[in-house]
Structure 1
Amino acid sequence: MRLPVLFLAVLLGACAQQPARDDSLYRALGERPGITRIVEGTLLNIARDPRIVERFRKIDIQRLRNKLIEQFCVEAGGPCTYTGDSMAESHKGQNVSRSDFNALVEDLIAAMEAQGVPVPAQNRLLARLAPMRGEVIER
């Protein structure tokens, strides 16, 4: 009878241990304050970007700001929860083109550069966001 009890104890102990969350990107981006500055910089860049500014005229920018902060925080491994719609749902019917998407990415990169985010950290964030591209373009 001792073997099943020992096995159960080992199994429960293994289940209780969560793998360590990798928050190194979150830290490299400046944690929540840094991510907030990056998002706000991106939105300011979009406001000055004639290629895509019209796409954002009728959008609740405060809500977009908050959801982007949540999303970037989650993607960076931070202690956040994303409460927005899926990317597919958010962009449904908007017919976002490749050039629109690329312009937004350029505005994001410029915001990260302005905040002094190292290029490796920029690339890590972009790599984590890249899979969403297919959910956004021409939906």
Structure 2
Amino acid sequence: MILNQFQNLEKADWIIINTFHKLKEEVIDCMEKFLPVKAIGPTIPSMYLDKRHQDDKDYGLSVFKPITDVCMKWLNERASRSVVYVSFGSLVELGAQQMEELAHGLKTSNKYFLWMVRSSEEAKLPNKFLEETSKKGLIVS
């Protein structure tokens, strides 16, 4: 999927990046030598800026539909700044050992955690991890 999105770069008039030039100046300057790159961001929904468009709340960058209600209810029951959030995005795929190590770290940290795990990755979670951490963690797939 990642490789395919870059298949026709040489045909693009512009490659638009969601950042601002000063934040990634060295990288963008280097890329501009080879590709027609433009930094146009950060792009932020109107709801978080001027609120002119009340329905404009989504960044539109997620491949999957978030389970907002469940997550927000769970988070609202926790103290502010007390939850570790873990997400590797929609494309990263961890190996079984990496999943086990991460699960062990979250379990032994004794911190609340919200871990976004794709349903296709759930089988890599250690046995009984969900039951053992149900009081401290929320795993969303």
TM-score (norm 2): 0.25
Greater helix content = 1
The structure with higher relative contact order (CA 8 Å, sep 6+) is: 1
Greater strand content = 2
